[in-house]
Every structure is written in C-alpha cells, then in structure tokens.
C-alpha cells in the first residue's frame, strides 16, 4: 500500500548519509513521530516566522511538581498536538512523574494515524529544573 500521503521530510535530528552525502529522509509513520517530537521540543516563540509553533510545556520548567503542574503539562501537549499535527487523533496523554528522580516526567502519548487507523505510542521525557 502506498503511504506517500502520510508525509516525507528530513530526518530529525538532521543527518547526512555518509555514503551519498545526501540528507536522510523520514517517511510515513516515522515522519509523523518525528513531527510530534519537534512540536514538543519547540518552545512557542522559538521558531522564526512562526512564533505560535510549538508547545508551552517549556513554561513549566521551573514549576513545582504538583497535580496542577501535571495537568497543565498534559493540557499544553494536547493543545499543541491538536493544532500542529493534523495527521493524528490523540487517544490518551499521561504525564507521569518518574519515581526516585525528582522533577523528571514521562509524557506518554497514545495516538492514531487518521489515514491508516494504526495506533502508536510515543514517550517524551521532560525535566522540571527546580521549582
């Protein structure tokens, strides 16, 4: 089955194929996964010419670890992915503190690719630095 409709783009992080000298490409579901990672790793205002692109989780870097903070992080992830990744439907987002490592969070994202109806999971680490 041809999946070109899912998208093709530069691999993230950008890498060069040593044998050809060309930039490596990510395709289809891998391209969607890398797009989600880029959205979450980009602070709003960081991207030139597109200041609204990104996710507001970076506003919580110095927040105190609390149920409120976990809820705000989850909400920020949900809003960013709904806005910037139209190829997916979000099934569930869980923000989970990692035991024995204060301030470390695991953002577990379960999503479905709309065009293929395939389900995927991505875990994004996030670190609260103080608070």
pLDDT in tens, 56-108: 999 999 998 899 999 999 999 999 999 999 999 999 999 999 988 888 999 99
pLDDT at 26: 84
Could you tell me what percent of the chain has a pLDDT over 70? 95
Domain chopping of the chain, boundaries:
4-127
Pairing of strands 104-113, 25-27: unpaired
- The CATH number that domain 4-127 falls under is 3.10.450.40
pLDDT at 5: 66
Count the helix, strand and coil residues of the chain and give each as a percent rounded to the nearest 5: 30, 30, 40
- Report the pLDDT averaged over residues 18-22: 89
Q: What is the largest CA-CA distance in the chain?
A: 50
The reported pTM is: 0.86
Asked if residues 12 and 93 have their Cβ atoms less than 8 Å apart, the reply is: no
């Amino acid at each position: 089955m041809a999946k070109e409709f899912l998208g093709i783009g530069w691999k993230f992080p950008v890498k060069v194929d040593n044998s050809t000298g060309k930039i490596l490409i990510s395709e289809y579901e891998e391209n969607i996964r890398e797009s989600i990672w880029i959205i979450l790793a980009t602070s709003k205002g960081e991207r030139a010419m597109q200041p609204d692109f990104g996710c507001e989780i970076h506003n919580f870097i110095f927040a105190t670890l609390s149920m409120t903070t976990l809820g705000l992080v989850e909400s920020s992830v949900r809003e960013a992915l709904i806005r910037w990744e139209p190829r997916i439907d979000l099934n569930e987002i869980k923000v989970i503190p990692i035991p024995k490592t204060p301030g470390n969070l695991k953002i577990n994202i379960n999503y479905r690719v709309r065009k293929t109806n395939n389900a995927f999971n991505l875990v994004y680490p996030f670190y609260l630095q103080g608070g």
